[in-house]
Amino acid sequence: MKILVTGFDPFGGEKINPAIESVKRLPEVIGGAQIVKLEIPTVVHQSLAVIREAIRKEDPDMILSIGQAGGRPDITVERVGINIDDCRIADNAGNQPVDEPIYPEGPDAYFVTLPIKAMVKAMQEAGIPASVSNSAGTFVCNHVTYGVRYLIETEFPGKRSGFIHIPYLPSQAATKKGMPSMELDTIVKGLTVAIEAMIEHQEDVKITGGTIC
């Protein structure tokens, strides 16, 4: 089995992005699966073009993308990507689309096709704060959550994909006010057990991870 794991480069004035840093530090093999690591630009569409090229070249079974969610206290596994770009800040190429569909011909949203509850459960059992998230935002992270699944539906049938958001590093939070953080080693450990759960669970487990609103 082969898993493509992508991480964004720094954006929004940050000098480092824990997403690509944690991806770089993942083992080469997890649960018997080969891990292919890919840095992607924090740019709408260009991020997807880079992933598409890697899927063509590597033919992975699953694609997992990692992004930074500054302000969240735990590792969050996204449930859904929505067909909209609505950017409060510009991406790394200066694009700032407002309420534009990612793929005009695509459906309104796609659920991720990874076992999100099993991934959360595995991280919690390993002592790592984790939860399901019902919104990946409307910036490049959501763009990739939705877009990779769109690529799969239109060009690479049968593959599974999903997205994990990670907190700031302590060094990033140290320059801000009241921001939670997580050590890179903890993030890497969390992603590793989450990937193990992805491999182990063809079907997701039934545990509530819902919110009232």
Do the beta carbons of residue 26 and residue 188 sit within 8 Å? yes
Told to check if 93 binds its own copies by CB under 8 A, we report no
Do the beta carbons of residue 70 and residue 168 sit within 8 Å? yes
Cα–Cα distance, 190 to 122 (Å, whole number): 8
Q: Kindly state the smallest distance separating residue 56's Cβ from its own copies, in Å.
A: 25
Return the residues of window 103-122 that contact its own copies according to CB under 8 A.
107-111, 117
Which is nearest to 14 in space by CA: 181, 144, 129, 188? 181
Toward its own copies, which CB reaches closer, 45 or 117?
A: 117
Cα–Cα distance, 153 to 106 (Å, whole number): 10
Q: What contacts 99, CB < 8 A, 6 or more positions away?
A: 84, 85, 86
Alpha carbon 157 to its chain's center: 20
Mark 16-55 with x for binding to its own copies (rule: CB under 8 A) and - for no binding. ----------------------------------------
Return the residues of window 180-209 that contact its own copies according to CB under 8 A.
180-183, 185-186, 204, 206-209
Cα–Cα distance, 196 to 190 (Å, whole number): 10
Mark 53-72 with x for binding to its own copies (rule: CB under 8 A) and - for no binding. --------------xxxx-x
Q: Is 78 a catalytic residue?
A: yes
Radius of gyration of the chain (CA): 16
Q: What are the catalytic residues?
A: 78, 141, 165
User: Which residues of the shown chain bind its own copies in the complex (CB under 8 A)?
Assistant: 12, 67-70, 72-74, 79-80, 82-89, 96, 98-99, 107-111, 117, 123-124, 126-131, 134-139, 141-142, 165, 170-171, 173-183, 185-186, 204, 206-213
